Structure 1
Amino acid sequence: MSDWQPSASIQQLTQRAQLLTQVRQFFAQHNVLEVETPLLCSHAVTDPHMPILTADNPLLGEQPYYLQSSPEYAMKRLLAAGSGPIYQLCKAFRGGEQSCRHNPEFTMLEWYRPGFDHFQLMAEISDLLVAVMAAPAAQQIAYGELFQQYLAINPHTATAKELEQVARQHIDIQMHSDQCDDWLNLLIAEVIEPKLGFAAPLFIYDYPASQAALAKVAMDANGHAVAQRFELYVQGIELANGYFELTDSAEQARRFQQEQQQRQQLAKPVMASDSYLLAALESGLPECAGVALGFDRLVMLVLQQNNISDVLSFTSDRA
């Protein structure tokens, strides 16, 4: 039996450690404070599409606990308490199918910049990629322009039926939905994403307002309501997701309630909204931008590996 062996080579693990050092040096040079927040949380995200892992154990008592899917809520509490710019390299946990790019336990690099908007943060992320993987300066494209370029359709005005027709021209699927976002997400994942970020890292910004999550919403130059968020693609891989962060506690509570309703419609258990986050927002979250970057995927790109198992000591099915 050789199952006890690590999934990555010792050489690859050494290179991974060197990359961790480079990342920490980058933030030290930029005066961003490293922090640690709990992995075991009393609240989980309410996103109905996020596969949450629980930590049920009689020794923890009756209070439900969850393995964090992101340190975002806790880090925003630190920001509201006056931490200034912060970053964290930590484990995060998400369910779903294990694949060449996804392991249920993974390492996330997340950081927040008070006083930055999402464009300023995109520039800093580009600087990080130049420093750690010698990437060329990143490019940017608006979500609407991206769909016009690849599929000749306006994602902000197209109906679900129109998006479905485009999807069936490119993908052999059995899916049925009357939700525009379902078709938009399918099209970007299956048709557009594999073509992105080969000449240089590519940021997509100005997503539909319906996909705002925890980002601010504004009007673009064409009069469309857009989410002030971005995603980063490198060599066909989604690497990071960032926001010009929502600071309005009432609007955040409304979005939590909307997600609860979606969970009910999907016959999923209702999750208690994070009262600590709402209290922190009410106290006053500074205007800031934040991003979550998949560190394991970054290592894959730097080491030119095609499978996440090749950059992890042990994958979850072998731990």
Structure 2
Amino acid sequence: MERHWKPSASIKNLIKRAEIINDIRLFFLEKKILEVETPILSQSTVTDINLTPFETNYFFSENTSNKLKLWLITSPEYHMKRLLAAKSGPIYQICHSFRNQEYGTHHNPEFTMLEWYQISCSMETFIKQIDLFLQKILKSKKSKKISYQEVFIKYLNIDPFSTNVSELHKISKKFNLQYLTELEKNLHILIEMLFTLVIEPLLAKEDQPIFIYHFPIEQASLAAQNYKDNRIAERFEIFFKGIEIGNGFYELTDYLEHKKRLINDNKNRQKMNLPIRKIDNNFLSAIKHGLPLCSGVAIGIDRLIMIALNKKSINEVISFSFDRC
């Protein structure tokens, strides 16, 4: 255990990390995009069923019953959108975010995130801008772009928007995944499972970043619905070397739809015996006031640097991994 006092990353890698983060800041400086800082502690948290936040308390006095529950942010999204509603213009942030129950080769409970918002920017235009960012920071080739529907047809020979549970179970069996999927009857969950378990690993064969766009509306999160096809959301994910490095949206701006989705999240949490989360009314009030038309993306800095330095684990590019903190 004595060696655990040492950093998990070499000093050489930490110097390279600092240089990459400096390059990221220079990219935004040249584009005159404002760097912002928002709270790490928040009085509310996300309702997303896929995220487990860390919670703590602020004590107003020595009387421990007089306390305020606080949450470590899972991302700076809500606070940054409040800035956008206050007419900040295009903004970005490099900050630490926190997600419980996430630890592994590509995960650390405390990690560094880049969050970036562009005003009056379509998803298609934003993808092109992010592609230029990746070419500059990763020295990568120009990216590939493929829709969620097309990637399922390419790798699994099915259309995710017209498939059925029986067909998905047959495909699961073909890839020896029936032990994970045979009891699942929810069509949308099965589609997500096949994307994660079959398609994502196949993306590792590509030698350039890949943007997969137009996810099913059931996976919209806070992305806008496509105005031509109500089955799809204006959401995209970025993969490189088989690793997801970013998740982005043409942002939902409708207040009532926001509220509906957050309420539905809590209904789904209840069905799954997960704790109900208080909806962030400051966030909703900002949306009601008026979120400008914009696109946004969250990029995992640790994963980005891991890829840039050709390392196999984010532990090799962060100063102290979870087991050494």
Superposed pair shares fold, TM > 0.5: yes
Match of 2:140 among 117, 124, 135: 135
What's 1:202 paired with? 210
Identity of aligned residues (%): 38
SS in 2 for 1:233: strand
The residue that corresponds to 1:145 in the other structure is 150
Q: Which amino acid aligns with 2:324?
A: R
What is the distance in 1 between the residues matched to 2:55 and 2:174? Answer: 40
Partner of 1:211: 219
Contact 1:219/1:225, CA 8 A, preserved across alignment:
no
Which whole-Å deviations, capped at 9, do the CAs of 1:11-53 have from their partners, x for residues lacking one? 0000000000000000001111000000001111001121211
Q: How many angstroms does 1:63 deviate by?
A: 2.3
Contact 1:92 1:105 (8 Å CA) reproduced: yes
Deviation at 1:98, TM superposition (A): 1.4
Say whether the 8 Å CA contact 1:161–1:178 is kept in structure 2: no
Equivalent residue number for residue 262 of structure 2:
256
Q: Report the TM-score, using the length of structure 2 for normalisation.
A: 0.94
Q: Is the 8 A contact 1:160 1:179 kept in 2?
A: yes
1:154 aligns to 2:150 (yes or no): no
Contact 2:211–2:238 (CA under 8 A) maintained in structure 1: yes
- CA drift of 1:164 comes to 2.4
| Alpha-carbon distance, 1:180 to partner | 1.9
Q: Which residue of 2 is the match for residue 15 of structure 1?
A: 16
Secondary structure, aligned partner of 2:207: coil
Equivalent position of 2:290 in the other structure = 284
Equivalent AA in structure 2 for residue 154 of structure 1: D
Say whether the 8 Å CA contact 1:48–1:262 is kept in structure 2.
Answer: yes
1:20-169 mapped onto 2 (5 Å cutoff): 20-56=21-57, 58=59, 61-169=66-174
Which amino acid in structure 2 is aligned with residue 36 of structure 1?
A: E
1:226 aligns to what SS in structure 2?
coil
What residue identity is the alignment partner of 2:198?
V
Instruction: Using the TM superposition, name which of 132-141 and 80-89 deviates more.
Output: 132-141
Question: How many angstroms does 1:65 deviate by?
Answer: 0.8
Matches of 1:161 and 1:266, distance apart in 2: 24
TM-score of the superposition, structure 1-length normalised?
0.96
Structure 1's unaligned 5+ residue stretches are none
Select the residue among 177, 181, 185 that pairs with 2:184: 177
Instruction: Specify the code of the residue in structure 2 equivalent to 1:285.
Output: L
Please provide the CA RMSD for this pair. 1.4
- Aligned residue for 1:299, secondary structure, equals helix
Quick one: distance in 2 between partners of 1:181 and 1:13?
41
Do 2:211 and 2:239's aligned partners in 1 also have CA atoms closer than 8 Å? yes
Q: Does the residue aligned with 2:180 lie in a helix, a strand or coil?
A: coil
Cα distance between partner residues in 1 of 2:303 and 2:75 = 16
Structure 2 counterpart of 1:236, which letter?
G
Using the TM superposition, name which of 50-59 and 207-216 deviates more: 50-59
Q: Secondary structure at the match of 2:233?
A: strand
Distance, in Å, in 2 between the alignment partners of 1:62 and 1:49 is 27
**Is this contact kept in 2: 1:195–1:235, CA < 8 A?**
no
Equivalent position of 2:279 in the other structure: 273
Per-residue CA distance 1:186-213 (angstroms, 9 max, x = gap): 1111111122262311000011111110
Structure 1 runs (4+) deviating above 6 angstroms are none
Unaligned runs of 5+ in 2: none
Q: How many Å separate the matches in 1 of 2:150 and 2:290? A: 35
